[in-house]
């Protein structure tokens, strides 16, 4: 059985893009993989996080994952900082990674913008910590949204360079598992920008804890154009907001974009947004409700994360110790 590693940052409340690009895929992969799911709190602090909020978001995210169908008994769910192997391997990878490689990372460019000098060194070396997350478990498959594809390519570059520099074949090649539908959900306020849990505008995203009224309001206010929906999917190409709403509808109802358009072609956004609201509420409301219930028992959530961390540590410790020996550290 292949081992999967995947992470999500507790940098906010997970949004619909996290769900469609990652979480839903994680749930399905549990059937035939050994899964390690991680709340990557060390990644989250690469940009400023209020400590109390970070703690709350980490627990909320654990609850959302459980409510979405992650089985933390059969598989592993934990928070990154609880397993020191990640930081140890990340340091080795910082010394393997070339600056030129990091300079090409579009996520850093997007997040740092023009103000590079004022961003943390952590944000810059984010991809080598991500490589360490995956390779500390020698995971071979990583389910991610399309935005993380470049970081996974870098993970393979780092693994190859480590193997080459030290003359070993220690780290395996990693394969990105990118979901075919809704690999990139876009902001409700700007169809050219990805939906993000830390976007300053809460109206830009549907959060996994939103209730039916909040969902309806956000979809009603979502940016659209004045045209009706076309019959041909190709005609959505220059209409990013329309394309995004149709994509969300298709992904959540598990039908193709062509089928959505066959049903709604000729409709304006008034009725289509109403239909989309029903689809989103049906998918999200039960998860939001179960999340609320789980959040009432913090001790249970903490014990799930502690059990996950100790099982994660048992896998990662021997792998990272071996990597340290290969490097020449005295053990």
Q: Which of 71, 147, 153, 290 binds ligand AQP (CB under 6 A)?
A: 147
Go through the chain and tell me how many residues it has. 331
The nearer residue to ligand AQP, 260 or 323, going by C-beta atoms, is 260
Classified as helix, coil or strand, 278 is helix
Q: Is 325 annotated as a binding residue?
A: no
Q: Does 150 bind ligand AQP (CB under 6 A)?
A: no
Distances from the Cα of 168 to the Cα of 111, 131, 300, 319, angstroms: 35, 17, 42, 14
In the chain, what are the helix, strand and coil shares in percent, each to the nearest 5? Answer: 60, 10, 30
Give the C-alpha separation, 120 to 292, whole Å.
34
CA distances from 20 to 91, 178, 183, 209, 237 (A): 32, 10, 7, 15, 21
Residue 62's closest CA among 8, 115, 123?
A: 8
Q: Identify whether 161 is a catalytic site residue.
A: no
Q: Which residue out of 194, 218, 223, 273 is catalytically annotated?
A: 194
Backbone φ and ψ of 5, nearest 5°: -120, 135
* 223 noted as active-site residue: no
127 binds ligand AQP (CB under 6 A): no
11 marked among binding-site residues: yes
Complex with ligand AQP: residue 93 or 126, whichever CB lies closer: 126
Residue 9 in marked binding region: yes
- Of the ranges 116-124, 140-148, 162-170, 271-279, which one interacts with ligand AQP (CB under 6 A)? 140-148
Q: Is 243 a catalytic residue?
A: no
Q: Considering only residues 4, 8, 96, 287, which one is a binding residue for ligand AQP as defined by CB under 6 A?
A: 8
We find the least distance from the C-beta atom of residue 161 to ligand AQP, in angstroms, to be: 24
- The least distance separating ligand AQP from the CB of residue 179, rounded to whole angstroms, comes to 8
Site string for ligand AQP, 192-211 (x = CB under 6 A): --xxxxx-------------
Q: Please state whether beta strands 175-177 and 76-79 pair in parallel, antiparallel, or not at all (unpaired).
A: unpaired
Phi, psi (rounded to 5 degrees) for 8: -140, 140
197 is in an annotated binding site: yes
* x/- letters, 239..278, toward ligand AQP (CB under 6 A): ----------------------------------------
Cβ atoms within 10 A of the Cβ of 114, count?
Answer: 7
Per rule CB under 6 A, is residue 119 in the interface with ligand AQP? Answer: no
Q: Which of 329, 260, 311, 325 is nearest to 77 (CA)?
A: 311
Q: In the set 185, 242, 281, 288, which binds ligand AQP (CB under 6 A)?
A: 185
Residue placing its CB nearer to ligand AQP in the complex, 219 or 323: 219
Cβ-based neighbour number of residue 215 at 10 Å: 22
The smaller minimum CB distance to ligand AQP, of residues 8 and 312, is found at 8
| Whole-angstrom distance, CA of residue 323 vs CA of residue 327 | 6
To ligand AQP, the closest distance from the beta carbon of 149 in angstroms equals 8
H or E, element range at 268:
none
For the annotated catalytic residues, the residue numbers are 111, 194, 197
Give the residue ranges of the annotated binding site for ATP.
9-11, 17-18, 145-147, 185, 194-198
**Interacting residues with ligand AQP (CB under 6 A):** 7-9, 11-12, 15, 17-18, 20-22, 144-145, 147-148, 183-185, 194-198
């Amino acid at each position: 059985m292949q081992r999967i590693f995947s992470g999500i940052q507790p940098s906010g409340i997970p949004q619909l893009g996290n769900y469609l690009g990652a979480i839903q895929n994680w749930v399905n992969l549990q059937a035939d993989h050994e899964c390690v799911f991680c709340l990557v709190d060390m990644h989250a602090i690469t940009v400023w996080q209020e400590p109390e909020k970070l703690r709350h978001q980490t627990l909320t995210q654990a609850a959302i994952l459980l409510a979405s169908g992650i089985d933390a008994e059969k598989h592993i769910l934990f928070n990154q900082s609880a397993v020191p192997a990640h930081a140890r391997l990340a340091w080795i990878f910082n010394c393997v990674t070339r600056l030129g490689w990091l300079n090409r990372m579009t996520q850093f460019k997007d997040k740092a913008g023009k103000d590079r000098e004022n961003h943390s060194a952590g944000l810059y070396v984010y991809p080598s910590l991500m490589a360490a997350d995956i390779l500390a478990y020698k995971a071979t498959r990583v389910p991610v949204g399309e935005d993380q594809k470049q970081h996974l390519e870098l993970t393979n570059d780092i693994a190859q360079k480590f193997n080459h520099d030290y003359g070993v074949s220690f780290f395996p090649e990693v394969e990105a598992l990118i979901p075919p539908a809704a690999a990139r959900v876009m902001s409700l306020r700007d169809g050219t920008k990805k939906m993000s849990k830390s976007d300053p505008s809460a109206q830009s995203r549907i959060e996994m804890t939103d209730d039916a009224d909040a969902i309806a309001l956000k979809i009603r206010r979502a940016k659209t154009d004045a045209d009706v929906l076309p019959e041909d999917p190709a005609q959505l190409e220059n209409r990013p907001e329309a394309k995004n709403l149709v994509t969300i509808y298709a992904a959540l109802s598990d039908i193709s974009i062509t089928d959505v358009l066959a049903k709604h072609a000729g409709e304006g956004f008034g009725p289509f947004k109403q239909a989309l609201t029903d689809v989103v509420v049906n998918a999200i409301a039960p998860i939001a409700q179960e999340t609320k219930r789980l959040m009432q028992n913090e001790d249970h959530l903490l014990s799930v994360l502690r059990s996950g961390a100790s099982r994660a540590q048992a896998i990662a410790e021997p792998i990272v110790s071996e990597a340290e020996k290969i490097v020449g550290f005295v053990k």
